Structure 1
Amino acid sequence: MRKAEYVWRYVFRRNGRRNRTGGMKVKYKILIVDDEKMIRMGIKNAMPWESMDIEKVYTAASAMEAAEVIKKHQPEIMVTDISMTEMSGLELVEQIRKQNEGMRIIVLTGYDRFEYARQALQLRVHDFLLKPIDEKELKKSILEQVRWLESERKNKEEDVSRIRAKGVRQQLALEQFMCAFILGKPKAGERLEEFLEEFHFDREQEMRIGLLMPEVRGEEDAESRSLRSMTIRQICLGMVDGQKKGITFTDEKSRIVISFFCNREKEEEELSRQLVDILSDELEIKPRIIWGSIRKGFDNLSISYNDAVFALEHEREAFERIYTMDLSRKQEDIFQEVFQEFRTAMVCSIGEREKLFHIFDRFCMAVESYNLSAKYTRSCCFELASSVYFAYFSDTGSGGSEQLSVLMKALSGAEREHALKVTNMFLERLFAGEEGEVHELVKKVKRRIYENLADDLTVASLAGEFYVTPNYLSRLFKRVTGEGCNEYIVRKRIEQAKSLLATTTLKAGEIAVMVGYHDMNYFSLAFKKHTGASPIKYREQVQKR
């Protein structure tokens, strides 16, 4: 008898010819570890892996080699011999268990010893087979591991779906309660304690209602208005609720209402400005916020809401103020008002380098026009540069405290023209090298979006991941790519949805969840806006081609 034939018979007491591949979709990876080449290759070549849902088959001649394969390829299943040189199979399993609790492990041994079986059980080995191995027995054992892995995967997917569905239901319940509560409906008042406990809100939290009012566009149809409203709401949820700084909901007239959480630093005002800026950048709209009064506790929240509604219903378009300046005022006093406008405009332009330097050029022209003294120019330059520096540092986390000290020394005693040049140089250095960093940041954000479309992606959440402010990311993304970050997310989601509709039989609702939409109506509106057809209609059109 030839050696090869002997080894085959040793490895498998076979019953008939081995099966050929069945063409099933492969998913999992397996590692075969045995220091005898003929045995490990015999297992590798004898099994109908594709029909068993095994995608990749790796082999290793030792425990050390197996550790490298596991580190590099991360197989989900391992079949290993016990008796090997350097490190035994059980020692290998012990090492693996320190790093990977989930790997499915089958141990092979030529010795029927209870001690081996006991150790294998302690190490959570999933099957223990004696050599010579029956092909059917090994195949059955591997298939059991595959079925377990598949069941676990499906359970996790179902868990994620349940969590997301629960999250959607909770958000809906929260918004329905808040709407009823601010309108003073008795049943909502009776449920306040239960509501606070479920969502972990402080009953005495100081709050202030803001009605978010987008600009009215007469040319919009009902579907476009609805889609825009849903998009605004999603951005608000990310910026406000996602950062635990308030509660977003809609009232009975479908107006977006935000209950901002207040503190001594008046962070709600800064947050509202950031929110308005992002909505302006992303959707090219000019929203405004109608404020209610600041009230302490949920019990008084309806007062703040009523104040905001009253202000909205009774406001009148104000005429621009026409006034004559007091000519007796000093030029420097008059310039102070102009200067504050320049300072605010430059701070708001962090992330838009060209715009910022254009504003600075206008500032320089104004300094010349108002014929400011050198001393006052130095003061304005330092205040302007400091404001830009701190805004840039706050947005990006970049910068060094020594830069302002250097600027202060450079400005000391400088004449007007020199002070302006020094300040311009300071700004140039502050933003030097930013372009490369900006492109790298945008590239990383785009990759994060592309690889995780099913996640709850918002400008605020992405900014948090990359340690910049939402406004900064929004402006940079639009400057580099030519489209808003939220617009990019929606476009990529719709592209993925189109591909799934054209190439799979998945239901539209399933596809919506897979591309990040938990509201089917919102998904349908967004899809129709981008393709001109509903998801179902689009699939029918593709199938007819």
Structure 2
Amino acid sequence: MLLKALLADDEPNILRNLKTVIPWEALQFEVVGLARNGMQALELVREHEPDLILSDIRMPGMDGIAFIEELRSFDGHSEVLMITGYQEFEYARSLLKLGVSDYIVKPIDYEELAETIGKLGERIRAKKRSKQVRDKRWTSVANLAYEKILHDVLQNYASVQPIYALAEEEADLEQFRYSVLLVDLDGYAQLSLGWDDKERKLWSFAVRNVLQEALSAWPIRYIVLQLREGEWCALVERGKDAPPPTTEECLRWGERLQQEVAVSVKLPVSVAVYPGHVQLGELAQVYKKLQRSMQLRKTQPKALLVCRETEHDTDPGESIWLLTEDLVMGLKQSDGAKTDKALLRLDRIIQSVPEESFERVRPILHFVALHLMREMREIRSIAGEAEERIWRKLELVRSIPDMFDVIGEIVRLALDAAAGRKTSETLMVAAEDYMLRRLGDDFGTQDIADALGISPSYFSLLFKQKHGETFLEHLTKLRMERAKSLLLHSDKNVAQIALAVGFAERRYFTKVFQKHTGELPSEYRDSRKGTAGGNE
């Protein structure tokens, strides 16, 4: 790791010797500037941001002390090594209080100076490596939080103001605009019948990795999320003032995704693209629109479709698809009355379809059945022999009345399964207990859903219905309440408390705490000392 050094001394001979006698290259330093006084040194610091500064104390115009005081007003990371005459020894020692790393007494022993520079270099590199690790960890945490926000917004589980999820002040999500690509694995429901949970997760992980790698061919910011089994959503992010991508660009992205999945995992996918600029609050609506477009317009595998803002489908298929969403929601909520009402309306729509539209409606009903099966698998309502029996019927059924009967059977099986499950209230009590016992652990929706024996998407739905907020928002509130208690009633320092409530990074914890309370952790503790009855 090559570091940058800046040399400052008003004596030309010393300045020349410092540059030529010290083995800078061997010590892995590059000398980026030479200054004859403090003012020149400050200008060079602003220009080059050196890692190490060698400076004389006595210089004309601005001496060493004035230079260091001014330096520390805008630069807190540079290591400073001062050079002083013997008579200024105490003078030099006082500089240590200003953040000077060390000092060398004149006449200069260049071997000693080189050794000191070498040690400082190792210290600087160690600090840089540590910062890189912290920054990487912080970026990872922030990215995971961002992914969770977008996932919940797309699924319509979260509002467009996720206060606690991203703690970076600069991260104003309303400033972003998105182009959306929906990727659907053709024939996934039947293809995955023979897979167990582990195989499904492995295939899902593999496809998502391929999709992420495929988009890396372009200089774009993007994120790939899996919203349900066999379905992924790619969001291409831009600033609100940036021009939206053209339809041709989006189609090229879609074609690349199809090609890479076909080559890497030997599976066919269809892609529906929405080229326009989509705001955060519009993502759920656009996601549903892409789903409808995929199911109503896809006539063969490996389809590549464009969904436009101005599209309006007025045939019976659109009404049937919109009604299907009510049916799915009723099943997820185990609401028999709601599903019965949706089935009755579906029957009326079918009865009113003119004969010339039969050919159009039959495949749409088939897609409705496929959609229901995928959604019920997602919440683990239909599985095993019952699922296989439904698939065999779907392969044989040809008439519209028979297709309607299969849809009705799917609904009955799902409601029967819901009746045999724990109630949502029981599940949410267990979820709260799980969270409270593991506030210091790293866990997510997948872990807690597995512990409850339900799918992550079903868990997220139940959680939002129960608490009126997302899992991440609620978990953060619980962690902040525990942190406030520890600040008032324990002697743990802030870093220890951060770890105790599940934050590996003290910086991230501090930002989230301040977002939640309006105070830094230290301020919160100090302002309440002596009033909490603790052991402060």
Report if TM-score (shorter chain) is over 0.5: no
Largest Rg, 1 or 2: 1
Give TM class, smaller chain.
0.3 to 0.5
TM-score, normalized by length of structure 2?
0.40
TM-score, normalized by length of structure 1?
0.40
